[in-house]
Each structure stands twice: as structure tokens, then as C-alpha cells.
Chains A and B, each alone.
Chain A
Amino acid sequence: MATLGKIARRTFLVGAAALAGGVAFGAWYVARPYANPLEEGLAEGEATFNPFLKIGSDDTITVIAPRAEMGQGISTTLAAFVAEELDVPLARLTVEHGPTSWAYYNGTMMEESGPFPWYEEGFVAELARDAFATVGKVLGLQATGGSASSRDGFVRMREAGAMARMMLVEAAAGRLDVARGELTTRDGAVVHEASGRSLTYGELALDAAKLSPPSRVTLKERGDWKLLGKPQMRVDMLPKVTGAPIFGVDVWLPEMLFGTVRMNPVFWQRTANVDLSAAQAVPGVVKIVPLQTTYGHGFGVIAQNTWAAFRAADLIEADWGAPAYPADAAAVDAVLTTALDTEQGSVMREDGDVEADFADAPRERLVEAEYAAPFLAHFCMEPMNATALYRDGKLEIWAPNQMPTLVEYLSGAAIGLGSKDVTAHTTFLGGGFGRREVDTTIYAALMAREVEGRPVKVIWSREEDVRHDTYRPAAKGRFRARLDEDGLPVALDMKIAAPSIIGSVMRRTFPSLSPAGPDGTITQGSHDQPYTIASYRVSGVKADLGIPVGFWRSVGNSFNGFFHECFMDEIAEAGGLDPVQLRRNLMGDFPAALAVVDRVAEMSDWASPATDGRAKGFAFTLSFGSWVAEVVEVVETDDGVRIEKVWIAVDVGTALDPGIIEAQLVSGAVFGLSSAMNQEITLKDGRVEQSNLHDFDAMRIHQCPEFEVAILENHHKMGGVGEIGTPPAVAALANAVSRLKGKRFRTLPLSKEVAFA
């Protein structure tokens, strides 16, 4: 287990990122509460109680759910926090994303940035969590990520509701001239049962908001919850079934122009010998703008409609230059292999003495394997886009984004404005998965400046979207285990090489700072798993490939889950143990893990013997604070391998909305299965080869398995849900297919060697 001494020797990359952000935002006020951004722009008769709540005299109750709604259902759960304590039915609320503000910082997202596994709760680990949470607050980092939004809002937003309820009761007590204790709240009103009188929140709001907030609030006991813990109707469902204009691409402003971008297919390269004549000749083209940014170089095309912009973008001729990075799959593999061969890397877990254990290991007790995973695109259904308006020295941006404070800062900086002159509006996201960075808004800002006074809606073609992603890193791992006489591992050594995600993000966002130190994402999902093995070492090697990489649903877990859990299967096989039994043997110290393993084994009837042409695979990954075990069943058909059924058992600690949690687990698994079956991004001459669904498809309805999900609540800490379904799905599928075919598959996607129906 990590000790203070080991920690002290490391500087963590995220610390550098935090420093960069802190300097940038100038928001270094740990103790001071942020101002309530709702105070500006209140309508007549409207009162605000805190940054999360407005109540109007007409009984309109508006809750601010300040996290990006990208399908994960967060607007519903965050609204339910406030509604629960305020005693208002969810359907009565108006839920808005709200303005961009430091007040909506996400502390929890940073909390697990330290080197401690989720289950480690010693003094040092907790100290680190507090410190990183403070970083989130200090930065005023309004961000959605890390499967952290519910955990982050759980206390703060329930307190916001409870506080407002107390103020409303106090105002009613004054108005009705009764003691506070005689009043109750129900369905958006304060009720005096004894006299049968009641006042609605709307009638009380203006008075109540003037009272000073209570210094202490008591939250409901879990047993008293009416909304939380039960499936709710999502607040975003009606607009989504009626085609309402809620997404970034649907922004509609007076005098609006349309645009797209054509970025250099060779990353980072500038263009030469540019010929814009054919592009400019396309009817409807207004202006073609060179774009030179930290994300890359290319052109923005502004036109009267998107179609004209797309056509013109296709016609831009230029010498795009040659790549200054590994230009194809073989070169990428060579860099990763060399990194594994020659570099020690950072040891992220070190139990026992691995070197000694392997030094005298008998050959027949050794298991060794090498695994590889490719780059992946996010392929959000809503292609990258942003709308910008530059007028009178101020910039306004509308975009599906996951970090509006950063959008304001960096998009403004791109055209020489400070954050105070930039306003970012967050729309619904047509998928996010970690892709929604600030390139879209930087390009839109640069383009808007060229047509001052008119908004430009910039939508990327799908081809641009696929070829200019911030990819899930390619990674390679080398694994060895020493087994004892019972087939159990006594020593396990894992070494993983991958580009640093944090380093790549920094290069794009704060290029003047050079990130140093290990990047925990490289081994995330391998170094932090709840297995007890006497000697257990996990090292990560940063292999800078120079190809833009970023956060992709479940981040490092997306490939480490595959590496770790497939290698566990190999250990089981070599030791003659059942894969589930092996896990049970090694997870004895972790009851939450054991419980999901047992549950999924029971659900899937794991113990029953396999039949011909059918196989099941198992995998477990603890990520983002949740414990997930999955079993995937595959069957051989005339058209190829078909994924027939998936069983999932998950422990999230506290299940706030079982309906949404189940949907997220299925969603995460489908996302992982899609990637494991078919997806890879490859380079040729330094350019991404894939461009659209003909060569980067994802699972379709006819390929989708049946799902069965069990939600457990054994662990005492609440975990996330948005990403956790993905890692074990990848590994469980690979394990199932390996069993089905009687051959071990160690490279993704599996379609390299196996046809899927």
C-alpha cells in the first residue's frame, strides 16, 4: 500500500494542471463562498435563496442543475436533491443548467486524483482527497466528469433545498403568527395543520429570501426520502421525444451565419501553398478564416448555410505537411514497445517484493502475456459544434460543453478577451463521453471575430469530428504472474505504456506549462483493484506519441480493465481455476467486491456447464468508486459471434435513482462492447484513416444483447455511475470470445480476428 514517503517522492500531474488553472482563473479564495450568480438577472417577483434555487411569486420553482446533461440523467438527480429537501414534487420544478459560475465548482471530480485506491481510507489518503477537493473549489472548476456529479451535489444541493425550506417556514411563521414547530411543508406550500391555513412557496418567496440563511441544516434521514432512492421520471424526457431544439446544433439566433472547419489532417502542422479559390467560389460562402490554435491549424468556413460551408471546406487545397510523430500503426506500436523495453516507469502500486519473487520463479509456474489496445474516437451522436457572437468587445458562446468556466477563459483568451468579457451558455449535449473540450469554442470565437455583430453556428462534418478527436490513448501492457501450487498468483507484475492524457490535455489548453510527474490514468484500472496478492506491482510508462489523446468514457480503466481482467483469466486458466473462483480467492478482504462477484455469478448461472457454441466471460472493475462485475454470454452463429446476454451486478454505495443507474450501466456496457467488437482508430502518413460509420461503426439494435442489472448498496461510500459499465464489458467480452474460440485474444478490437454477427 502507498505510504506517505512514496507519495512525497511524486509530484502529480494533476497538481500541475490545477496550478495552471488556478493561476489562469485567479480564483484563489479557499474560504470565501462564491457569490450567488442568480442574483443578477432576477425577474420581477422572483427570489433566489442560493446558487441552486429560484422561486417566483407565481410559484415557479427553478432549480439550477449546473452539470452538463449528456444523457446520464444528471439534471434529474440534481433536481431531486433540491426537491427532496424542499418538499416539492419533481414534476413541479423547472430545471435549468444555469449560468457559468465558479459557484458551481466540482470538488468531487478532483478528489480521487491522488494515488490512492478507492478502498484505502487511511489518514494520508483522506488528507489527499480533501486537498484535491479543495483544488476543485479553488479553481472554481465548473466541470462535468469523473462520474462525480451526483457525489458532488449530494450534500450541497440537498442543503440548498433544506436551507430554503427553513427560510420559507420561518417566513410563514411570521406571516401566520405561529411557532415554526407548528408548520409543515408539503407539495410546495407551508401548511399550518391546526388552523388549516397554508401559504405557497411563491407567496412566501420574496420575504423568505430576505431572511438570513440558517447556519446549520439537518438533512432528512434516508428512511424519510420520498424521491431519492426511487426511479424518477426524467426531467429532460419530454423535450427529447418531441424534437425540441435543446442541443448545441439547435441554437438559433437572429442574423445567424453558419460555418464549419477544415483542420489540417496532420496534427499540429501548419499549412502551406493554400488555395482557397475553389472554396471561395461556392455560392453562399461568406468568408474563409485561417485558424491557428493550440489545438491545431486549419480553416474556418463561414457561409449562409451549413451545406455551402461543408462543400467549400471540401474544396480547400493546401499542402498539409508531414507528421512529426509516429505516422502509422507499426510506428505507434514501436514507440510503445520501446517504452516497455527501456523505461522503468512510475510504480503506482508496490506490494511485497516482485523482483525477488520472479528471480527464482520456476518456468512452469510463470504466466506471461502482452496486450494492446488501439486509439478510439468518441463519436458523440451530436458532432462537435459551437456558436459564437462577437460584438462590442464581448464574446458570447453557446455550446454543448463539459467545463464552461474553462470555455470562457480559453475561448476569450484566443481572441484577447478576459473571462469577464465572455459569457458561455451550456446547451444539452448530444453525447459527451469526455470529448467536449474547448477546440470547438476556440474555433467559433476566432470565426465570430471575423463577422463582428453576427452569430456563427459552427458545426463540424462527421469526417472532421472523427479525424480531429482527442482519442482514447493506444496502450500496450506486459504482464507476468507467478503461481503457487494451488494455481493462485503469489506475484503479479504489470507494466503499461501509454501516452499521458493529462499531458496531452495540457499541451492543448495550457501549452506554456510543461507537465511533469506520473500520470495515474495510464494504470487506472490496474493499480487500484481490490485484489490481495502478496507481491503486486503495477508500473506506468508515459510514452508520448504526439497524437492528441483525451478522456474517453472510463479513461484509463477502458484499457486497463481489459488488460487486468483478461490477464486474470489467463492466470485462472494456467492455474486450473474457475475465473470466478480465482477472484473470490483474491478478493476476500473486500466484501463489496465479493458481493457483486457472487451476485453476477448467481444471476448468470455461471456454475452451469457450458454448451456447444456458447461461452460466458467474466470481468470485474472497481472504477469511479463503484464495484462492477459483469458476465457476457456469446454464441456462435452463421453470421459470426453474437453477444446474447449481459449480466451486471454493481455496488454504488447509495443508489440515488435506480432507473437512471440501470440505464447508465447498460449504456456503459454497450459503449464498451461497441469498442471491443469493432472499433479502432489507425493512422496512415500521420492522418487518421477512419472518417465515418462505414469504417468506425458502433453496436446497432440487432446486435444488442439482453441485459439484466442488479444494484447493490453494501459499500459505505457512494460511487459514480456514468462510466463504470464500460471497463468490465470490454474484458468480459474478450474473455467470453476467448473461451468460445479456445484461443486467447489479447488485442483490440476483437474483429481483427473474430467476425461478429
Chain B
Amino acid sequence: MRRFALALSLAALSGLAVAQDDAPADPVAGETRVDRETGLPHWRKIHEVFSHSRCANCHVEDERPRWSGAHYGATRIHAFNVQRGGDGSGFGNPGQRCMTCHMETNSPRPHGPPGAPHWHLAPAEMVWWEKSSAEICAQIKDPERNGGRTLAEVADHVREDALVRWGWQPGAGREPAPGSAEETYEAILAWQAAGAPCPDQ
């Protein structure tokens, strides 16, 4: 299966390694006046998506993705001792990669593994799991912690990336993230236009 080697190289290209590069200019400062009244409702929509289990379960600070949903009890640590991976890549460990079980498409079996290309954990600095709205907001605006992206690039990523888009097509038996990729893309742009205000909490 060539997809694994490919995925690792893609991951390297797509910004996982960008933190070491020169950070791009602050995507917000100096561009727009901040309009909290217009911007915060957009942020709330974005936050509903980012903090949803379909997204947050794999945006964790520690080494362990989470599981949640019907028949899983409360949200819990992914079984089988699945880990981010000793190399920090987010693709799992030798002998047990994320893609050992997660294929490019959802398993049709009930409770079978969901699938999308290059299944992996988000980098630890992109943490959403159990973070407040304010914390996620600060994170997503910080190029050091968002893969070196401008907000427009973040919006593109949400709309284009197959793994992100999976959040809205998670397969039978799983609650999808609210809205759609397109709506979230638009919300990010609208939020950016309003100066990308962050909530207090």
C-alpha cells in the first residue's frame, strides 16, 4: 500500500513541519477593524464545528485520540492503546498506524472504523479537545499553532482537505459535525472579515 508513504510525505509538506519555518505575518493584524458583534456569531458557528466530537476527538493535546458516540458510553480514550506516534507525526506507531485500521473510506459495518485519506491526529499544538471557545479561537489564529496558515488558508483547508471534510460524512451511526464544509468555510471568511474576534471565555 503506497498510501502510507504518500501520506507521511504529504503530512510533511502540508504544514506539520512549518512550525520550524519562518512564521508568516499575523493574518489578522492591520487588516480589518474588529467588529465583535458581527464576528462572534460567526465564530460560534465555527466553534460548534471545531469542538464537535468528530473534530475535537483527534485534535488532542496528549497522545490519545478519543472515541464518542452511541454505544461508547461517555467520551473515552480510543481503545487498543492507539497513540499519536513516537515520531510525533500523528500517524501512529510502528506496528499500529492509524491507517492500519482507518482506510480511505468509511467501513460499512456498524462500529467499523471511519475512513478518509491520510487518517491521522492533528498536531498536538492544534488542540481543541476540552479547550474553551477562547482557547480554540486563539489557537486557530496563531500561525505557530495552526500549521502556518492565514485564516483564508485555514478556510480553504476546511473546505478542501478530505480528512477535515470527513467530519461531515462520518458514516452511518455517527453524528456529523454541524452544518457543512462549505458553511464553515464561509463562516471563517465572514469571521475574518469582521476582524476575527475571539470570545472572552
In the complex, are there CB atoms of A and B closer than 8 Å? yes
Residue B79, interface by CB 8 Å: yes
The chain B residue sitting closest to A310, CB to CB, is B109
Q: Given A463-B110, A689-B71, answer yes or no on A694-B81 (Cβ-Cβ < 8 Å).
A: no
Task: Tell me the interface secondary structure of chain A in the complex.
Answer: loop
> Which A residues are in CB contact (< 8 Å) with B80?
700
Residue A187, interface by CB 8 Å: no
The chain B residue sitting closest to A703, CB to CB, is B81
Residue B3, interface by CB 8 Å: no
> Which A residues are in CB contact (< 8 Å) with B81?
700-702
Residue A353, interface by CB 8 Å: no
CA distance A701 to B80 in the complex (A): 9
CA distance A695 to B76 in the complex (A): 12
Residue B33, interface by CB 8 Å: no
Residue A691, interface by CB 8 Å: yes
Are A694 and B77 neighbours in the complex by a CB distance under 8 Å? no
Q: Give B61-89 interface residues, CB cut-off 8 Å to A.
A: 67, 71-73, 77, 79-81
Indicate which residue in B73, B79, B111 contacts A691 across the interface (CB closer than 8 Å).
Answer: B111
CA distance A695 to B81 in the complex (A): 16
Residue A697, interface by CB 8 Å: yes
> Which B residues are in CB contact (< 8 Å) with A697?
79
Residue A693, interface by CB 8 Å: yes
Nearest CB of B to A689, in Å = 7
CA distance A690 to B73 in the complex (A): 12
> Which A residues are in CB contact (< 8 Å) with B79?
693-694, 697, 700
> Which A residues are in CB contact (< 8 Å) with B72?
694-695
CA distance A562 to B151 in the complex (A): 58
Q: How many residues of B are counted as interface, with CB atoms below 8 angstroms from the partner's CB atoms?
A: 10
The chain B residue sitting closest to A690, CB to CB, is B71
The chain A residue sitting closest to B76, CB to CB, is A755
The chain A residue sitting closest to B81, CB to CB, is A702
Q: Give A181-200 interface residues, CB cut-off 8 Å to B.
A: none
> Which B residues are in CB contact (< 8 Å) with A694?
67, 71-72, 79, 111
Q: Give B83-105 interface residues, CB cut-off 8 Å to A.
A: none
How many A-B residue pairs lie within 8 Å, measured between CB atoms?
25
Residue A667, interface by CB 8 Å: no
Q: Give A412-465 interface residues, CB cut-off 8 Å to B.
A: 463
CA distance A695 to B111 in the complex (A): 10
CA distance A700 to B77 in the complex (A): 14
> Which B residues are in CB contact (< 8 Å) with A702?
81
Nearest CB of A to B118, in Å = 23
The chain B residue sitting closest to A311, CB to CB, is B108
> Which A residues are in CB contact (< 8 Å) with B73?
695
- Residue among B67, B71, B73 with most chain A CB within 10 A: B71
Residue A692, interface by CB 8 Å: yes
Are A695 and B71 neighbours in the complex by a CB distance under 8 Å? yes
Are A691 and B77 neighbours in the complex by a CB distance under 8 Å? no
CA distance A702 to B64 in the complex (A): 14
> Which A residues are in CB contact (< 8 Å) with B67?
694
Nearest CB of B to A750, in Å = 14
The size class of the interface chain A forms with chain B is 10 to 19
Q: Give A666-719 interface residues, CB cut-off 8 Å to B.
A: 689-695, 697, 700-702
CA distance A689 to B71 in the complex (A): 8
Are A692 and B77 neighbours in the complex by a CB distance under 8 Å? no
1/0 per residue, CB under 8 A from A, across B166-199: the answer is: 0000000000000000000000000000000000
Residue A40, interface by CB 8 Å: no
CA distance A205 to B35 in the complex (A): 99
> Which B residues are in CB contact (< 8 Å) with A341?
none
> Which A residues are in CB contact (< 8 Å) with B71?
689-691, 694-695
> Which B residues are in CB contact (< 8 Å) with A639?
77
CA distance A693 to B80 in the complex (A): 10
> Which A residues are in CB contact (< 8 Å) with B110?
463, 691-692
The chain A residue sitting closest to B72, CB to CB, is A694
1/0 per residue, CB under 8 A from A, across B29-72: the answer is: 00000000000000000000000000000000000000100011
> Which B residues are in CB contact (< 8 Å) with A700?
79-81
CA distance A736 to B73 in the complex (A): 25
CA distance A702 to B96 in the complex (A): 13
CA distance A382 to B111 in the complex (A): 19
The chain B residue sitting closest to A638, CB to CB, is B62
Nearest CB of A to B53, in Å = 15
Nearest CB of B to A543, in Å = 28
Nearest CB of B to A269, in Å = 22
CA distance A64 to B144 in the complex (A): 70
CA distance A6 to B184 in the complex (A): 77
CA distance A76 to B81 in the complex (A): 34
> Which B residues are in CB contact (< 8 Å) with A701?
81
CA distance A695 to B72 in the complex (A): 6
Nearest CB of B to A601, in Å = 33
CA distance A700 to B80 in the complex (A): 7
> Which B residues are in CB contact (< 8 Å) with A463?
110
Nearest CB of B to A395, in Å = 32
Nearest CB of A to B39, in Å = 38
CA distance A639 to B73 in the complex (A): 17
CA distance A692 to B72 in the complex (A): 11
1/0 per residue, CB under 8 A from B, across A463-474: the answer is: 100000000000
Q: Give A58-74 interface residues, CB cut-off 8 Å to B.
A: none
Nearest CB of B to A283, in Å = 15
CA distance A697 to B79 in the complex (A): 9
> Which A residues are in CB contact (< 8 Å) with B77?
639
CA distance A545 to B80 in the complex (A): 34
Nearest CB of A to B67, in Å = 8
The chain A residue sitting closest to B112, CB to CB, is A692
Nearest CB of A to B20, in Å = 30
1/0 per residue, CB under 8 A from A, across B94-135: the answer is: 000000000000000011000000000000000000000000
> Which B residues are in CB contact (< 8 Å) with A695?
71-73, 111
The chain B residue sitting closest to A701, CB to CB, is B81
> Which B residues are in CB contact (< 8 Å) with A689?
71
CA distance A693 to B79 in the complex (A): 9
CA distance A693 to B110 in the complex (A): 11
Q: Give A242-264 interface residues, CB cut-off 8 Å to B.
A: none
Nearest CB of A to B142, in Å = 27
Nearest CB of A to B140, in Å = 28
> Which B residues are in CB contact (< 8 Å) with A690?
71
> Which A residues are in CB contact (< 8 Å) with B111?
691-692, 694-695
Nearest CB of B to A579, in Å = 32
CA distance A463 to B73 in the complex (A): 18
Q: Give A630-654 interface residues, CB cut-off 8 Å to B.
A: 639
> Which B residues are in CB contact (< 8 Å) with A692?
110-111
Q: Give B146-177 interface residues, CB cut-off 8 Å to A.
A: none
The chain B residue sitting closest to A639, CB to CB, is B77
Nearest CB of B to A171, in Å = 56
CA distance A693 to B78 in the complex (A): 12
The chain A residue sitting closest to B80, CB to CB, is A700
CA distance A692 to B111 in the complex (A): 8
Nearest CB of A to B32, in Å = 43
The chain A residue sitting closest to B69, CB to CB, is A694
Nearest CB of B to A420, in Å = 42
CA distance A692 to B113 in the complex (A): 13
Q: Give A590-632 interface residues, CB cut-off 8 Å to B.
A: none
Nearest CB of A to B189, in Å = 38
Nearest CB of A to B96, in Å = 11
Nearest CB of B to A587, in Å = 40
Nearest CB of A to B80, in Å = 6
CA distance A702 to B78 in the complex (A): 13
Nearest CB of B to A174, in Å = 62
Nearest CB of A to B170, in Å = 15
CA distance A692 to B110 in the complex (A): 9
Interface pairs (7), CB distance under 8 Å: A689-B71, A690-B71, A691-B110, A693-B79, A694-B111, A695-B111, A697-B79
Q: Identify 10 new A-B residue pairs, CB closer than 8 A, beyond the known A692-B110, A694-B67, A695-B72.
A: A463-B110, A639-B77, A689-B71, A691-B110, A691-B111, A694-B79, A695-B71, A695-B73, A701-B81, A702-B81
Give 6 closest A-B pairs by Cβ, nearest first.
A702-B81, A694-B111, A695-B71, A692-B111, A697-B79, A700-B81
Chain A contact residues, CB within 8 Å of chain B: 463, 639, 689-695, 697, 700-702
